[in-house]
């Protein structure tokens, strides 16, 4: 995966968020403050504008990701800004100066993204957050995924794990974020952050 492909993935992510904007906001209306889709879409539209400005001088993959991270932190306006922003910043740091991404790089990037999100939000698996989607995907890549022969099939299988993780947020009670204020009323709803996290991972897998 080269610089051009990384740029295309970010654009596909923005499109996935745009298409699912209302769905994510609906999920957030049930157990949060009803702004997840709107916020994420605002962030990723701002990312598109920033990336357009970068295209004249093709940067390394690390620069693309840190641009995405900083833009999300600045423009999202909700907790998903610092959380996803930190994820992209950490992932970008792993591939600083690189113009190609291998399977090992991709694994290291997602590990770093997970570490960033956990550091920022303090969540663990089972708290009903984006970590529930991301951590199983990273665990797969760290384990059996390392032996996959192609980046594409490794990421597809990781996205499938993220989907299971996302589904696992439905029957549990939220421990982090606004949804935790609802206590048992948060049970029975998917976590919007876990859903957006799965959508982003699925988009990466589909675009590679």
Query: Residue 24 and residue 151: Cα distance in Å, rounded?
Result: 28
Give yes or no for a contact between 157 and 145, defined as CB atoms under 8 angstroms apart: yes
Q: Determine if 178 is a binding residue for another protein (CB under 8 A).
A: yes
Q: What DSSP assignment string belongs to 133-153?
A: HHHHHHHHHHTGGGG-S-HHH
Burial of residue 148 (number of CB atoms within 10 Å: 0-12, 13-18, 19+):
middle
Per CB under 8 A, the list member of 5, 49, 74, 185 interacting with another protein is 74
Per CB under 8 A, the list member of 37, 43, 165, 177 interacting with another protein is 177
Which residue is listed with tokens 């952050």? 193
Q: Determine if 50 is a binding residue for another protein (CB under 8 A).
A: no
**CB-CB neighbours of 198 under 10 Å:** 26
Stretch binding another protein (CB under 8 A), from 31-39, 105-113, 149-157, 197-205: 31-39
Q: Determine if 82 is a binding residue for another protein (CB under 8 A).
A: yes
Q: Determine if 83 is a binding residue for another protein (CB under 8 A).
A: yes
Per CB under 8 A, the list member of 18, 50, 98, 120 interacting with another protein is 120
Total residues contacting another protein (rule CB under 8 A)?
16
Could you tell me what percentage of the chain is helix, strand and coil, using 3-state DSSP and rounding each to the nearest 5?
75, 0, 25
Considering beta carbons, is residue 127 or 136 the nearer one to another protein? 127
Query: Residue 17 and residue 22: Cα distance in Å, rounded?
Result: 9
Per CB under 8 A, the list member of 17, 79, 158, 195 interacting with another protein is 79
Which parts of this chain interact with another protein (CB under 8 A)?
A: 33, 35, 39, 73-74, 77-79, 81-83, 86, 120-121, 177-178
């Amino acid at each position: 995966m080269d610089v051009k492909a990384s740029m295309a993935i970010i654009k596909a992510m923005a499109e996935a968020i745009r298409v699912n904007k209302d769905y994510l906001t609906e999920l957030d209306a049930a157990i949060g403050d009803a702004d997840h889709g709107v916020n994420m879409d605002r962030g990723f539209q701002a990312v598109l504008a920033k990336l357009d400005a970068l295209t004249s001088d093709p940067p390394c993959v690390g620069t693309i990701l840190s641009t995405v991270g900083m833009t999300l932190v600045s423009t999202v306006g909700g907790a998903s800004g610092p959380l996803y922003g930190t994820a992209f910043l950490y992932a970008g740091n792993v591939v600083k100066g690189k113009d190609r991404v291998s399977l090992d790089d991709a694994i290291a990037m997602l590990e770093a993204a997970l570490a960033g999100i956990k550091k920022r939000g303090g969540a663990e698996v089972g708290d009903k957050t984006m970590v529930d989607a991301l951590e199983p995907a990273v665990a797969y890549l760290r384990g059996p995924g390392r032996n996959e022969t192609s980046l594409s099939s490794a990421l597809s299988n990781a996205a499938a794990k993220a989907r299971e993780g996302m589904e696992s947020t439905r029957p549990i009670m939220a421990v982090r974020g606004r949804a935790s204020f609802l206590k048992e009323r948060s049970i029975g709803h998917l976590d919007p952050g876990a859903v957006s996290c799965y959508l982003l991972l699925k988009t990466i897998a589909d675009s590679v």
